[in-house]
């Protein structure tokens, strides 16, 4: 794992954006794996600025998002489809028809997961995947568990995740209890991965991701087996390294 420690949250986004620019120069029709949450916002802001400055072109890109809440329609303000539209897609020249976010309203999650994974496989897998990390070590919504789940699947959110994400909802009771998440196997098939984290609350999770023996109780620790991971963190998130 290549670990990059920077001073500020903004710099995390700038460093990650450098990698995106290089990726799209090398392969303009890259398959991008995108994430939601507070952490990738600095990346998306940097990407929008670079697009405005003519430094990056998304016209040939296809994207797949990591996850979506079960029960939220795409136009729900807390859905991850909505998040992506507002925070990235509306501001760049990506073809909306080539942006995929799991469907939170799907009836048969297993069939949906299989089709999502198959589509990613048929496209040759994700070229560059961005990941945040939960304070509990989750990537996507792959929560600490007894096993690593390979495929895209429906998950029960951990209590700590529901609590953490309640900051975006009127009340904790409004937070969906389940999500559809890309599985660990699909994430691990990505050719390059960027793991981003900011703040002291993520320090233990980052330490576990990098140093603990890989185990499903610390989902991000699986990344130690991946050949091309760049961890970009600020000093606070790196404070236990
Ligand atoms: P955050 O979420 O970026 O909002 O902290 C990250 C995650 O839970 O994966």
109, 100 contact by CB (below 8 A): no
CA pair distance 157, 127, nearest whole angstrom? 27
197 CB less than 6 Å from ligand 1? no
Burial, 225: exposed, middle or buried (Cβ in 10 Å; 0-12, 13-18, 19+)? exposed
Ligand 1 atom closest to 202 (CA): 5
* Model pLDDT, residue 25: 98
* Model pLDDT, residue 34: 98
- Structure confidence by residue, pLDDT tens digits, 194-224: 999 999 999 999 999 999 999 999 999 999 9
Provide CATH code, domain 8-131+147-198.
3.40.50.1360
* Model pLDDT, residue 3: 98
Report residues of the chain scoring pLDDT below 50: none
* Model pLDDT, residue 195: 98
Residue 148: phi, psi to the nearest 5?
A: -85, 130
Residue in 65, 87, 136, 165 annotated catalytic:
136
CA pair distance 213, 203, nearest whole angstrom? 17
The tally of CA atoms less than 13 A away on the side-chain side of residue 79 is 16
Residue 233: phi, psi to the nearest 5?
A: -135, 155
- Structure confidence by residue, pLDDT tens digits, 156-197: 999 999 999 999 999 999 999 999 999 999 999 999 999 999
134 CB less than 6 Å from ligand 1? yes
Ligand 1 atom closest to 140 (CA): 9
Does the annotation mark 108 as catalytic? Answer: no
């Amino acid at each position: 794992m290549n670990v990059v420690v920077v001073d500020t949250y903004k710099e995390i986004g700038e460093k990650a954006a450098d990698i995106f620019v290089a990726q799209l120069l090398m392969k303009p029709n890259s398959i991008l794996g995108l994430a939601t949450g507070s952490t990738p916002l600095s990346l998306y802001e940097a990407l929008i600025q670079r697009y405005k400055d003519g430094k990056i072109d998304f016209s040939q890109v296809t994207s797949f998002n990591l996850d979506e809440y079960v029960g939220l329609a795409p136009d729900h303000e807390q859905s991850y489809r909505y998040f992506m539209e507002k925070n990235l897609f509306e501001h760049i020249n990506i073809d909306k028809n080539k942006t995929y976010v799991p469907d939170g309203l799907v009836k048969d999650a297993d069939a949906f997961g299989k089709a999502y994974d198959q589509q990613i496989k048929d496209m040759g897998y994700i070229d560059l995947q961005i990941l945040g990390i939960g304070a509990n070590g989750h990537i996507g919504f792959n929560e600490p568990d007894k096993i690593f789940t390979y495929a895209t699947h429906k998950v029960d959110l951990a209590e700590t995740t529901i609590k953490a994400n309640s900051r975006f909802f009127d009340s904790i009771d409004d937070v969906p209890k389940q999500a559809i998440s890309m599985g660990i196997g699909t994430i691990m098939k990505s050719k390059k991965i960027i793991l981003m984290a900011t703040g002291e609350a993520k320090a233990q999770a980052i330490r576990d991701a990098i140093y603990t023996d890989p185990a499903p109780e610390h989902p991000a620790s699986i990344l130690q087996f991946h050949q091309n991971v760049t961890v970009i963190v600020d000093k606070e998130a790196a404070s236990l390294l």
